[in-house]
Amino acid sequence: MEFFVVQDAEAAGAVGAGLLAAVIRSNQDAVLGVATGGSPLPVYRALAGYGLEMSRVRCFALDEYVGLPAGHPESYAEVVRREVTERLSLDPANVFVPDGSAADPERAANDYEAAIAAHGGIDIQLLGIGHNGHLAFNEPGSSLESRTRVEDLTERTRQANSRYFDSPADVPGRCITQGLGTILEARQLLMVVRGADKAEILHRALTGPVTPDCPASVLQRHPHVTVIADEGAAALMPCTATRVAAASV
Could you confirm whether 224 is annotated as catalytic? Answer: no
Backbone angles phi and psi of 90, in degrees to 5 = -80, 160
Mode of pairing for the β-strands spanning 63-66 and 174-177 = antiparallel
Whether 134 sits among the annotated catalytic residues: the reply is: yes
Q: Which residues of 150-161 are buried (b: 16+ CB within 10 A; e: fewer)?
A: bbebbeebbebb
- Minimum CB separation of residue 234 from ligand PGA in Å reads 14
Catalytic hit among 74, 78, 131, 132: 132
Q: Please, what is the minimum distance in Å from the beta carbon of residue 198 to ligand PGA?
A: 6
Contact 191, 227 (CB under 8 A): yes
Q: How far is the CB of 161 from ligand PGA (least distance, A)?
A: 8
Residues that bind ligand PGA (CB under 6 A): 37-39, 128-130, 134
Of 64, 113, 134, 161, the active-site residue reads 134
The set of long-range contacts for 65-70, using a CB threshold of 8 Å and a minimum separation of 24, is 65/100, 65/171, 65/172, 65/174, 65/175, 66/100, 66/101, 66/105, 66/150, 66/172, 66/174, 66/175, 66/176, 67/100, 67/101, 67/172, 67/173, 67/174, 68/100, 68/101, 68/172, 69/101, 70/101
Q: Residue 111 or residue 170: which is nearer to ligand PGA going by CB?
A: 170
Give 94 or 128: the residue with its C-beta nearer to ligand PGA: 128
Residue 155 catalytic?
A: no
Q: In terms of CB distance, is 36 or 94 closer to ligand PGA?
A: 36
Is 119 catalytic? The answer is no
Amino acid symbol at 41 = L
Q: Minimum CB separation from ligand PGA for residue 91, in Å?
A: 26
Q: Which of 113, 139, 151, 230 is catalytic?
A: 139
Cα separations in angstroms, 42 against 8, 39, 186, 192: 10, 7, 22, 10
Closest to ligand PGA by CB, 38 vs 141, is: 38
Which of 39/125 has CB closer to ligand PGA? 39
We find the least distance from the C-beta atom of residue 37 to ligand PGA, in angstroms, to be 3
Catalytic residues: 63, 132, 134, 139
